[in-house]
Structure 1
Amino acid sequence: MRNINSPQTEQALLQRANAIAGLTFAELAEELGIIVPPDLKRDKGWVGQLIETALGAKAGSKPEQDFAHLGIELKTIPINSNGYPLETTFVSLAPLVQNSGVDWQHSHVKHKLSKVLWIPVQGERQIPLAERYIGSPILWQPNSRQEQQLRRDWEELMDYIVLGKVAQINGTLGDVLQLRPKGANSRAITKGIGKNGEMIDTLPLGFYLRKEFTAEILQNFLLGK
């Protein structure tokens, strides 16, 4: 597998992202010496890893941004033929303990979403994985309205965690951001705070961007906003 150096400037990163736009997964994988799996059933993160490798992202699963030296997070987003996102977008794990005093300005969510390089990819299952195309990159920063939406949801959801209401959290909470179990299976257990302030066993929770929110980002790019 080819080892790609991390780009040192935002312009170099965008040039690289534009260079892979229009390629199929098979074409890019061949360039990098990576084998394309038959499907994503056992390789759920393969597409993201392919794009990360091609662009020289180094963070992996660490809590920092993918291009920390540039202050840019990388997000691969599968879309349908109408350009609409096919799934929610994971942002970061939620801090279920030791979270007193954590505010929006210093949160992982704000840090991760301060500047994002979105790479849309064909995600419809009827298209063989090897034949799916990579789209044009979108470098995005939240505008003031989007940041207000994110902050409001984050603060509301964090209140549930801090006040020991983890059991009441469900996918309907939050307009643009939601909290959902994050783990390979239901056996992944972590510590949280119960309603009486006691430590409890619970599922790890992750912050996810709703599809409507990411759809707006993609739409604004197409409209030149």
Structure 2
Amino acid sequence: MKSTPQSLNELLQRAEAMAGLNLGELARLNQIPVPQDLKRDKGWVGQLIEIELGADAGSKAQQDFLHLGVELKTIPINRYGKPLETTFVTTTPLINVKSLNFYDSLVFHKLQQVLWVPVEGERDIPIADRRVGTPFLWQPDPMELSLLRQDWEEIMEMIAMGKVENITARHGEVLQLRPKAANSKALTESITENGTIKLTNPRGFYLKTQFTSQVLAKVFAG
């Protein structure tokens, strides 16, 4: 297990050292077996990158490098540099949400500063041969932050009104709410429209690919 980086500079140096390596090389360096496919090991790539960089948050609801104020996100991309899937941000509270504020939310906390690590993700490339792209540090600009806040507030208002079952992946311009659980049997408490509590599938906030595509394009445009 690699030590936790003590400074932002050390973290960025480690991240830059990964660029151009493939996942098989990284796995060998960390003595981790490469899975045959990612169907059962969906989070394997992210976990490998976390181990290589010395992330210490694990599954806790906090930034991956809390002492540096940095969240780590791996993002699978195609050969044109476009994201292949939405990006999970955090699970969502479904009860006691009326007094929540965007700037106190986990969405804001996690997206204040993100170290993005693009990784080749096309299925015709064997997992071990998929290369790590150039990592970069990102902070949302005022426009991006405004869009995130607007979507978060609209979705949380629907949750507070007991309309969680009415929220689809189409809601939100840059942020969406979707079921987030290992299987459909996982349940959590939520508010109903008449104010009572019922059980439903846990939900998570995800960044839409259109948004992450713009983030990538802005960084690599030059």
TM-score range, shorter chain: over 0.9
Aligned match of 2:192: 194
Aligned match of 1:163: 161
Aligned ranges 1:70-149 → 2 under 5 Å: 70-149=68-147
What is the rounded CA distance, in whole Å, between the counterparts of 2:41 and 2:18 in structure 1? 21
Unaligned runs of 5+ in 1: none
Percent identity, aligned pairs only?
55
3-state SS, counterpart of residue 136 of structure 1: coil
Aligned match of 1:214: 212
Aligned match of 2:32: 34
Aligned CA-pair RMSD:
0.7
3-state SS, counterpart of residue 75 of structure 1: strand
What is the rounded CA distance, in whole Å, between the counterparts of 1:16 and 1:203 in structure 2? 38
Task: Using structure 2 for the length normalisation, give the TM-score.
Answer: 0.99
3-state SS, counterpart of residue 69 of structure 1: helix
Amino acid corresponding to residue 110 of structure 2 in structure 1? K
Q: How many angstroms does 1:100 deviate by?
A: 2.5
Q: How many angstroms does 1:184 deviate by?
A: 1.3
What is the rounded CA distance, in whole Å, between the counterparts of 1:28 and 1:208 in structure 2? 27
Say which of 147, 150, 173 aligns to 2:148: 150
Amino acid corresponding to residue 201 of structure 2 in structure 1? L
What is the rounded CA distance, in whole Å, between the counterparts of 1:125 and 1:86 in structure 2? 10
> Which sits farther off after the overlay, 148-157 or 214-223?
214-223
What is the rounded CA distance, in whole Å, between the counterparts of 2:193 and 2:28 in structure 1? 53
What is the rounded CA distance, in whole Å, between the counterparts of 2:151 and 2:27 in structure 1? 38
Q: How many angstroms does 1:102 deviate by?
A: 0.6
Amino acid corresponding to residue 154 of structure 1 in structure 2? W
Aligned match of 1:56: 54
3-state SS, counterpart of residue 195 of structure 2: coil
What is the rounded CA distance, in whole Å, between the counterparts of 1:54 and 1:76 in structure 2? 12
Q: How many angstroms does 1:179 deviate by?
A: 0.2
What is the rounded CA distance, in whole Å, between the counterparts of 1:31 and 1:202 in structure 2? 42
What is the rounded CA distance, in whole Å, between the counterparts of 1:35 and 1:98 in structure 2? 42
Say which of 202, 205, 208 aligns to 2:203: 205
Q: How many angstroms does 1:39 deviate by?
A: 1.0
Amino acid corresponding to residue 169 of structure 2 in structure 1? G
Q: How many angstroms does 1:185 deviate by?
A: 1.3
Amino acid corresponding to residue 35 of structure 1 in structure 2? P
Structure 1 ranges of 4+ moved more than 2 A: none
3-state SS, counterpart of residue 3 of structure 2: coil
3-state SS, counterpart of residue 37 of structure 2: coil
Unaligned runs of 5+ in 2: none
3-state SS, counterpart of residue 93 of structure 2: coil
What is the rounded CA distance, in whole Å, between the counterparts of 1:165 and 1:201 in structure 2? 13
Task: Using structure 1 for the length normalisation, give the TM-score.
Answer: 0.97
Amino acid corresponding to residue 77 of structure 2 in structure 1? I
Aligned match of 2:179: 181
Aligned match of 2:9: 11
